[in-house]
Amino acid sequence: MQARVVHDKISTINPATGEVIHSYETTDLEQISRIVSNARTVFAKWKKKDVVQRCDYIRSLMKVLDKNKDQYSKTITQEMGKPIVQSFAEIEKCIWLCEYYCENAESFLQDQIIPTEFRKSFVSFEPLGIVVGIMPWNFPFWQAMRFIVPTLIAGNVAILKHSSVCIGSSLNIRDSLTAAGFPENVFQIVIGDYRAGEALVQSKIDAVSVTGSVSTGKRVAGLAARDLKKFVLELGGSDPFIVLEDADLNHTVPQAVHSRLLNTGQSCIAAKRFIVMKEIADKFTKLFVQNVKEEIVGDPMDKKTTVGPLVRDSQRQALIKQVDDSKLKQAEILLGGNIIDGSGYYYEPTVISNVNHEMDILREEVFGPAAPIVIVKNEAEAIMEANNSEFGLGASIWTSSSERGLRLAREIQTGVVKINEMVRSDPRLPFGGVKYSGIGRELSEFGIREFVNVKSIAVKDITTKLLVE
């Protein structure tokens, strides 16, 4: 396992070497109770600051993140194996997130006047209180920050329970907010496994945001629902990458490979099913395999590396099981399909054809560098195949006709559709899914309003008549 719980300690493991990085003491139940109590106390003061004041703290955070990009990137890569260039880009994206909300939060949270028969009627957006974030390991800074920044700007206080894989990143995040001058206890962390997360959700908090697996989302949602606490879930994905016969393959194929192998394929919005029109299937497949062969698998600390190790051996074993299942059911392995011997949890970038829905590789989320190619005859089959999944997070369509792409985009059952662009989260656009991919939205004005009380206020004049005897 990538993270081991031994009594009251958790050890993080470098997935490129299998060596222990550090051991950390976990947060016990008594400490969790104290953390929540401290959060409640500081919330009474934090919520009274106006949006402009809260944004000043976020601007300070931007400077801290920029100053420490190298250090934070190194922590990410050591803990979960992301190629260092991608880790650096992750920190830069967090800075963009901060900048975006500082520029827009005041307008997102200002009172909205609603014309009615009343003298005055409007909607106000008021903070809920204590919001817990239960976050995963695959984008340790980005996914935590996209929860933290809008939550704090909205006037809430935040508690982060990060994955046991990336405790060092969690501590870096805490230290960055401290260095930015945030008041004590406005942001706190809890260290532990799933039990710590469950204890937090059942404590006296007000809302919870979860990014993780479907099973984790269901468990947390069930616990939160007992006390009718608000929750947002961003869960798994099996994103279709639809290539129409008029697509420019010289542009499309490199993007297809990048979308599949970014973060060694460990992304909920990675392209996971390549749905290709029959007329161009052979050409697409040939170019795709050629491009995958050019990827550089190696030490994630090397700037030339594009594919690193999987985060832990259990993750690699899950991928082996999915690929082996496809082999047994007569899929064709065009490239890869094997572990890479040596230290670390490496697996060959893999391309698979002749797949069907009896295979796990299409029915399940694939969190690793394996790409199944599905051939379809026409648009109707492409859309049917794209929607033939229990997930509905993202999708992309590749075509020379934007009008055609827009028409088909409306038929796809996902929260995000990109046309001639790989799926990525963007601070300016709402992010989230449908079906088993989650509930609610992050980012943009929709995300910052998930954890506020949308309050209607109306004022009616009363004319007082004097009684004359």
Q: Under a CB-based contact definition with an 8 Å cutoff, are residues 231 and 439 in contact?
A: yes
Exposed / middle / buried, residue 11 (Cβ in 10 Å: 0-12, 13-18, 19+): middle
Mention every residue, 6+ apart, whose C-beta is less than 8 A from residue 7. none
Query: How crowded is the C-beta side of 440, counted as CA atoms within 13 Å?
Result: 22
**Cβ-contact 237, 393 below 8 angstroms:** yes
HSE-up of 409 (CA within 13 Å, CB side)? 20
CB atoms within 10 A of CB 64: 18
Residues marked active site are found at 234, 268
* Nearest alpha carbon to residue 289 among 304, 302, 276: 276
Indicate the SS3 state at residue 381. helix
Q: Hey, which residues does 339 pair with through a beta bridge?
A: 347
DSSP-derived 3-state class of residue 197: helix
- The answer to whether 427 touches 97, Cβ cutoff 8 Å, is yes
Q: Based on DSSP, count helices (H) and strands (E) in the chain, helices before strands.
A: 15, 21
Buried b (16+ CB within 10 A) or exposed e, 288-310: bbebbeebebbbbbeeebbbbbb
